[in-house]
Amino acid sequence: IKVKEPFLELPKGVLTTQSQFDGITLTVLRCKDNAKSTIGWIYLQEQYYCFSLEDTFRKIKVDGETRIPSGEYTLNFNKEVTPKTKDYRNRYPEWFTYHLHIKKVPGFTGVYIHSGGNHKDTSGCILVSTSVVIKEESAFFDNSRNTFKNLYILLKNYLESNTPVRIIIKDEDWIKNLNDRS
């Protein structure tokens, strides 16, 4: 996998077709898919924040091994207390309450943003990290827990103050589409 350095600011024109939104926007720009995982960049309010790692694209969904479709989704807490919720609360009692849930993803349930090391940790979710290690066509995150903690606390503050949060996910063709407009 070869992934160039991210743009520090979201490239002009990437969000031109999106509706007006009075809240916080996370944007995922997928960059490279190697048939195992997808690496991307996450922007918070159009400023680069971290890398993303997801499962690969598949025309036919394979549970736990397929990334979610591109699109615009609401991000909020999943206030259902599951065994996974209890596990995270035990591991991170000082800051974790509920999972960051990407809502209403067609054909998917329980899609979260969380920490993890590689595509085997995603199960269709989005992993976050400020550092990615690429070896032999495989991508690994080595500081995902710290990145997740920082992003979680930031988003938790917005969500607890009733500020709407959305996530916009763009497939790898975003750069081609952007170039076609210029």
Instruction: Say what the pLDDT of residue 174 is.
Output: 84
Residue 28's closest CA among 74, 75, 71, 77?
71
The confidence band for 119, taking pLDDT boundaries of 50, 70 and 90, is: confident
Note the pLDDT tens digit of each residue in 41-72: 999 998 999 999 999 999 999 999 999 999 99
State the pLDDT confidence band at 92, using cuts at 50, 70 and 90.
very high
Q: With 90 as the cut, is the pLDDT of residue 180 above it?
A: no
* pLDDT digits 0-9 by tens, 4-18: 567 777 877 777 555
Is the pLDDT score of 156 beyond 50? yes
- pLDDT band (50, 70, 90) for residue 173: confident
Residue 3 — very low, low, confident or very high, per pLDDT cuts 50/70/90? low
Q: To which H or E segment does residue 168 belong?
A: strand 165-170
Percentage of the chain exceeding pLDDT 70: 91
**Contact predicate 132/51, CB 8 Å:** yes
Task: Name residues whose C-beta falls within 8 Å of residue 112's C-beta, 6 or more positions apart in sequence.
Answer: 78, 99, 100, 101, 102, 125, 126
Torsional sign, CA 55, 123, 137, 47:
positive
Task: Round to whole Å and give the CA distance between 109 and 90.
Answer: 23
Question: Is the per-residue pLDDT at 21 higher than 50?
Answer: yes
Between CA 137 and CA 2 the distance in angstroms is: 9
pTM (whole model) above 0.85: yes
Q: Is 47 exposed, middle or buried (0-12, 13-18, 19+ CB in 10 A)?
A: exposed
Indicate the SS3 state at residue 34: coil
CA distance 63 to 167: 22
Average pLDDT, the chain: 89
Percentage of the residues of the chain whose pLDDT score is greater than 90:
68
For residue 139, pLDDT over 70 is answered with yes
